[in-house]
Amino acid sequence: MEAGRAKGTVTPLSFLFPAQDAHKAATRVQDAISEKERELEHLLGFISDNANLINLVQKLPEELHHEVMVPFGKAAFFPGRLIHTNEFLVLLGEGYYAERTSKQTVEILKRRGKALDSQVDSLKAMMDNLKAEASFFDATASEAEEGLVEIREEYVEENLGEQESGSGVNKQDVPSVSGVDGPKIVEEDAEYACIMSRLDELEKEEELAAANGDQSDEEDEEEKETADQSLEKFYDDKQSYSKGSTSTWLRDENVGSKELLDKYQQQQEASTNPSNCSGLSVQSSSKEDVSSGKNSLAQTQRVRNPNPAAKSVTFAEVKEKNQRSPPSTREAFTGSIIERPPAIPKTSKQETGTPLQPSGSQPSKPVSRFKMQRR
């Protein structure tokens, strides 16, 4: 990593693999290849012989007898003929012969042909391997001649940790949020950083949106841009806590806001939304929007007032963040819940009297608090 320390080693390739040796190896492999080629030719000869024989055996029974020269030893033959042309004596191996008809003989021969084919295939595969090897040796030789060097460096795992430590905020968040102390996986840190920054953005946007309700478009686009993965995970976590009304709030922010743009303009609140939750969220958000930014702002302020103590403590901040942060564990949530009670009544008043009120009320609360802190 650092220039000062020489962690790696540099070895010229020609030291490891002298060009001459590489060439020698290449030629040796080439020899092996040519040998295999000869073998292959041999096998191909067998295969063609076999095919011819199959043809012959198939045709022999067409006639009762064939005029041929019957070999008598290797150097002589008699004029004669083949008789009993549908009876063949086939070697099974180990000196055992079987009497077969033409058809049966053809089957045997075809099986032999298959064995030969598989042999050819394996031989070809071996030759391919050898060729790859030869090309590798050639490449190595040429590289060694060109003076290529090999650079090696040990992989040190600490590096990642050091990099991560740079972002102190995240680290602080991690223990507080998760409540699980001790070494957390570095990845999670990164994820938190991502999510937290994203949340900050979202909050800003929400402020803007609250100010002028129609701006929610921008939110959506930006959402897409930022790390989707982390957000998704976030949502999943939140949804799993469907009890915790925060999920609905989140919906408001993200999913709800998207649909809001369209639907809010059309004044359709819950009709099109797939799930109850989302429907609720839409309602609440739409109401916020409908009521116009001022209304929402007013909400936030009200919320703020009831629990000043929580705000004053810095931990409260953290907890709020936790609410929004994806990996929220139970503990994180409990923190948020504690803060809720004062807020609920106020929001519920604002919201319409639907049975879903609690969900609606909660979403508004966290937002408001955060805004307060920011200001």
Give the N- to C-terminal CA distance of the chain in Å, as an integer: 42
Could you tell me if 33 and 130 are in contact, meaning their C-beta atoms sit under 8 angstroms apart? yes
CB of 101 to other proteins, least distance (A): 12
Could you tell me if 225 and 341 are in contact, meaning their C-beta atoms sit under 8 angstroms apart? no
Q: Which is nearer to other proteins, 66 or 294 (CB)?
A: 66
Q: Which residues neighbour 177 within 8 Å (Cβ) at sequence distance 6 or greater? A: 192, 318, 321, 322, 325, 327, 328, 329, 332
Q: Could you say whether residue 97 binds other proteins (CB under 8 A)?
A: yes
Distance CA 69, CA 79 (A): 4
CB of 11 to other proteins, least distance (A): 38
The one-letter code for the residue type at 308 is P
CB of 103 to other proteins, least distance (A): 13
- The pattern of x and - marking residues 219 through 238 that bind other proteins according to CB under 8 A reads --------------------
Could you tell me if 205 and 278 are in contact, meaning their C-beta atoms sit under 8 angstroms apart? no
Stretch that binds other proteins, among 57-65, 144-152, 164-172, 314-322 (CB under 8 A): 57-65
CB of 56 to other proteins, least distance (A): 6
Distance CA 161, CA 89 (A): 79
Q: Could you say whether residue 60 binds other proteins (CB under 8 A)?
A: yes
Q: Which residues neighbour 209 within 8 Å (Cβ) at sequence distance 6 or greater? A: 215, 216, 219, 257, 289, 293
Distance CA 55, CA 362 (A): 88
- The pattern of x and - marking residues 70 through 89 that bind other proteins according to CB under 8 A reads xxxxxxxxxxxxxxxx-xxx
Q: Which is nearer to other proteins, 119 or 226 (CB)?
A: 119
Q: Could you say whether residue 65 binds other proteins (CB under 8 A)?
A: yes
CB of 8 to other proteins, least distance (A): 48
Could you tell me if 189 and 170 are in contact, meaning their C-beta atoms sit under 8 angstroms apart? yes
CB of 73 to other proteins, least distance (A): 5
Q: How many chain residues are in contact with other proteins, going by CB under 8 A?
A: 35
Q: Could you say whether residue 105 binds other proteins (CB under 8 A)?
A: yes
Q: What residues from 34 to 53 belong to the interface with other proteins (CB under 8 A)?
A: 49-50, 52-53
Binding residues vs other proteins (CB under 8 A): 49-50, 52-53, 56-57, 60, 65, 68-85, 87-91, 97, 105, 109, 112
